[in-house]
Structure 1
Amino acid sequence: MAIKPKGTVPFGPYRTWYQVTGDLQSEQPALVVVHGGPGSTHDYLKNLTQLAEHTGPVVLYDQLGNGGSTHLPDKGPDFWTPDLFADELDNLLKQLGIDDYVLFGQSWGGLLVTKFAAGRPAGLRGLVIANAPASYPLWLEEAKRLRADLPPGVNETLLRHEAAGTTDSDEYHHAMRPFYEKHVCRLKPWPRDYLASFYEVYNDPTVYYAMNGPSEFHVNGTLKDWSVTDYCPQVEVPTLLISGRYDEATPATVQPFQDLIPGDVRWEIFEESSHLPHLEEPELFQQVMRDFLGSLADGTAGGARTKETVGHGRH
């Protein structure tokens, strides 16, 4: 059966929305892009489709509960689990007939693809973990430190509303902005694609609120104690780590991936970026991705364990 460039596939009684750029029959592995959140959408990662001009096909999708996939606002926290989203990813690959692929996971998606890769699926050729912490307890430790460095009074306002349970107030949302502008997206104004995903989260916050919480830095949902450090040693494919110098996913949160994933692990730090290097430094990002995907295609990936600062040499 021919796969349409855009559509939905069944996932049990639900539907998962997807978009394919390029030819899934290509000899090059597909790049399957797993977005963050949980509870965001593919929109902010749209420019990854440009890679299809130089490498294999690129597949974007919306995880269950958001975007073009089935929305389930009445489902409680017990329904929304990492296992559910890993099963959805596995189902998508099968439904689209993808048996040779690289996974790209951004933010929460980075933890999800690590869990998935630990199962050693036969068709997985490489892994990109972008702007992701290896554990949410680490994430929260670092968020506390980053919050303390915000302009005077901002963190106090945030803490007051978090203690009072009034994180849905306009004052809390206004106080969130300095953190987001410094550690999530440094571009001004925020790009349209990022705004599209940002608004989608709050148009239906079911998943985000259940698993994460009211903001990037106040994780009080079901993921607050979750970690993928135990999965890292089971990852058997070449891995690219990506983070930004100003990223909310600080080096301390990324370090366990480099320490615990065996074999070929390369870490690129984008000097002018925070949480979205693909938008903040798109040309450098595209080149880094093309180099990594090219190394998988020509067989040169393997054996290296390096940490690099993009555009400023190695250290």
Structure 2
Amino acid sequence: MLCAMPIHTLDVPFLGGRTWVRVTTPETPTPGALPLFVLHGGPGMAHDYVRNLAALADETGRTVVHYDQYGCGRSTHRPEAPADFWQPSLFVDEFHTVAGALDVDRYHLLGQSWGGMLGAEIAVRRPPGLASLSICNSPASMELWVRGATELRAQLPADVEAALDRHEAAGTVTDPEYLAATMEFYRRHVCRVEPMPPDFVDSERQMEAEPTVYHTMNGPNEFHVLGTLRDWSIVDRLAQITAPTLVVAGEFDEATPATWQPFVDRIPDVRSHVFPDASHCTHLEQPEQFRAVIANFLGHYDGTTNV
């Protein structure tokens, strides 16, 4: 399906470097269907693992825009940048730079994991062109995220949890035993498809080859958070979001219900959907069902903008 759709790429100048952008257009556009920007996670995981959402172009007749956020993937890397360079505001500015370069003034936003956190950061600023926001598998604060991860770790086999605790205390988080224990958590709560889908593997390999953004903002893995995001929270700002918002998660998601409940409680115009038997990468585990839920939501808001 994806091969039939027109795809083009471009480089958008940003901060003395460039942001790599991939634009998928439908064979048969639907009149009035607004473009969808897809914000990948990580931070620093590149767009590959959410690339299958480009199928929404033909399924909904709208343009779908992916891009590799600054510092990862095919965009400019800045391994020498100081830690405080990597802040959410950097990526908010980058999004608006990309949208401006594409001459898009009305759009939908979908963010997965960190991308949903970024989408919320964009939405609280009430950009006038934002028609809707989809927050997928994302926490409203890193305190809630870490608390949820701790609860899920306690459900791991005792020897796996002990290996995680032991190596984190010793600082030996590259030890093969620690990495194997991490993968057990990932198989349960990050992506339940085995073997891991190639698109996910591609994103992970890119991050591991140049981990500056992920390690600086997050830490060595999904549940050992040491980076600049460790104190991040948007909970107290969520009432400022005026765009219609969809919050989705998986039943076994590392983004546990408590991590995303503030979105539901505090965003004025919000609805939520939980996918049974899915985890953090719901869009890879149940791709058709995931896209159907997103497509239905987007279709209700093509004629609206955030005011």
Out of 38, 41, 52, the position equivalent to 2:57 is 52
- Corresponding position of 1:230: 236
CA contact (8 A) 1:10 1:16 kept: yes
Residues 210-256 of structure 1 deviation map (CA, whole Å, 9 limit, x = unaligned): 01000101101111111111221111011111100000001010100
- Corresponding position of 1:280: 285
- Corresponding position of 1:17: 20
Q: Which amino acid aligns with 1:133?
A: P
What are structure 1's unaligned runs of at least 5 residues? Answer: 302-315
Q: 1:129 to 1:37 in 2, by over 3 A?
A: same
- Corresponding position of 2:3: none
Distance (Å, rounded) in 1 between the aligned partners of 2:142 and 2:188:
20
Q: Which amino acid aligns with 1:45?
A: V
Structure 1 window deviating more from structure 2 (281-290 vs 206-215): it is 281-290
Q: Which amino acid aligns with 1:257?
A: F
Distance (Å, rounded) in 1 between the aligned partners of 2:218 and 2:22:
26
SS at match of 1:125: strand
SS at match of 2:301: helix
SS at match of 2:85: coil
Residues 11-40 of structure 1 deviation map (CA, whole Å, 9 limit, x = unaligned): 120100000001699732110000001111
SS at match of 1:283: helix
What are structure 2's unaligned runs of at least 5 residues? Answer: 1-6
Q: Which amino acid aligns with 1:273?
A: A
Deviation at 1:76, TM superposition (A): 2.2
- Corresponding position of 1:28: 33
Distance (Å, rounded) in 2 between the aligned partners of 1:236 and 1:113:
13
CA contact (8 A) 2:32 2:303 kept: no
Q: Which amino acid aligns with 2:82?
A: G
Q: Which amino acid aligns with 1:89?
A: F
- Corresponding position of 2:263: 257
Out of 168, 172, 180, the position equivalent to 1:166 is 172
CA contact (8 A) 1:136 1:223 kept: yes
Distance (Å, rounded) in 1 between the aligned partners of 2:78 and 2:236:
30
The structure with higher relative contact order (CA 8 Å, sep 6+) is 2
SS at match of 1:121: coil
Q: Which amino acid aligns with 2:203?
A: S
SS at match of 2:20: strand
Residues 272-295 of structure 1 deviation map (CA, whole Å, 9 limit, x = unaligned): 210011110111111101111111
Q: 1:159 to 1:90 in 2, by over 3 A?
A: same
Q: Which amino acid aligns with 1:237?
A: A
CA contact (8 A) 1:119 1:234 kept: yes
Q: Which amino acid aligns with 1:292?
A: F
Deviation at 1:156, TM superposition (A): 1.0
Residues 109-153 of structure 1 deviation map (CA, whole Å, 9 limit, x = unaligned): 111110111111111000000000000000001111100110121
Whether 1:7 aligns to 2:13 is: no
SS at match of 2:158: coil
Out of 211, 219, 229, the position equivalent to 2:217 is 211
Aligned pairs for 1:74-93 within 5 A: 74-93=80-99
Q: 1:227 to 1:142 in 2, by over 3 A?
A: same
Aligned pairs for 1:292-307 within 5 A: 292-297=297-302
Distance (Å, rounded) in 1 between the aligned partners of 2:211 and 2:224:
15
Distance (Å, rounded) in 1 between the aligned partners of 2:43 and 2:256:
19
CA contact (8 A) 1:55 1:294 kept: no
Residues 180-211 of structure 1 deviation map (CA, whole Å, 9 limit, x = unaligned): 00000001111000111111111111011101
CA contact (8 A) 2:110 2:116 kept: yes
Deviation at 1:160, TM superposition (A): 1.0
CA contact (8 A) 2:33 2:62 kept: yes
Percent identity between the two aligned chains: 49
- Corresponding position of 2:101: 95
CA contact (8 A) 1:41 1:67 kept: yes
CA contact (8 A) 2:218 2:226 kept: yes
Q: What RMSD in Å do the two structures reach over aligned CA positions?
A: 1.8
Deviation at 1:298, TM superposition (A): 6.2
